Structures are given as C-alpha cells and as structure tokens.
Amino acid sequence: MVLVVDDDQQFIHMMELRLKPLGYEIDFALDGKSGLEKAKSVEPDLILLDVMMPKIDGFDVCKILKSDERYDHIPVILVTAMAREKDLELIREIKADAFITKPFEHSVLVEKIQELLKRNKTVPKKGQSNLTSNPLSSLSIKK
C-alpha cells in the first residue's frame, strides 16, 4: 500500500488515478500529523510525502519515521516544490529514500516507486508497468 501524505486533495486524487490502475492500493492523509499517525498504524509499503504541509512538515515526518527502527525500513519519497541546496542537504540528513520536484513526469515517479518497492520486496500483485525513466527529471535517490 502506498500512503500519499499531501494537503493538496487534487494531488492525492491524481496519484490515485495514476497508481490504482497499476495495482497499487492507496491510502492518504491531508497533513503531516495525521500522515505520521497513519504511517505508524497501517505501516505502508511506501510513503509519498509532501514537504510543505500544515501541523508537521514532511521533513519532520520523514525524520521521525527514519529515526525509529520500527518504521525506518519504509521507503519515503519526498515531494517538494523547491529543491534548494539546503533542502537537498536536509533530505540526505533525514534519510529520505528519494525526492521529486514538482512538476514532474508521472512515469518517472511510477518507476521510482517500483524500484523502491522491489528493493523492499513489496512489489504490487498486479502487472508491472514498462515505463522508462526521463533523464531530464529532477528525481533523485539516495545510494
């Protein structure tokens, strides 16, 4: 299951439209606090986490999850509208598994989700997509 944490309901709906046909189960939260609570209660296979949100921002949610050995195995992709150098340093510090800058190519996001889930051996049951990566995308992954 992919947990989408974002205060933009249109973004959540768009992720549902893109990921459900590929066999992914989707759950969501509309702010950082409820996203953190949901992540701890349902233990998703992957979290797609907006950075700028009310109550608790995505950086803090990721930091809390990655500092707890019960949840540090859950891949986190941070979604941000900005990627300043200090943000990139923070992303590395809090151990996010990947980040993507809005706007982005949906095929690149889907490919990264599949890669992280395969790494965690939690690939969805339905068929896989043959989408290819866009080398011009701003998607990054930690090594």
Residue 99 to residue 131: CA distance in whole angstroms: 18
Contact of 98 with 141, CB cutoff 8 Å: yes
Nearest Cα neighbor of 6 from 136, 100, 131 is 100
What angle, 0 to 180 degrees and rounded to 10, lies between the N-to-C axes of helices 9-19 and 106-119?
A: 70
pLDDT by residue (tens digit) across 63-98?
Answer: 999 999 999 999 999 998 776 677 677 777 888 999
CB atoms within 10 A of CB 6: 24
Q: Tell me the pLDDT tens digit for each residue of 91-135.
A: 778 889 998 988 889 899 999 999 999 887 744 444 433 333 333
> According to the model, what pLDDT value does residue 115 have?
92
Name the DSSP class of 127.
P
32-42 helix and 58-66 helix, angle to the nearest 10 degrees = 30
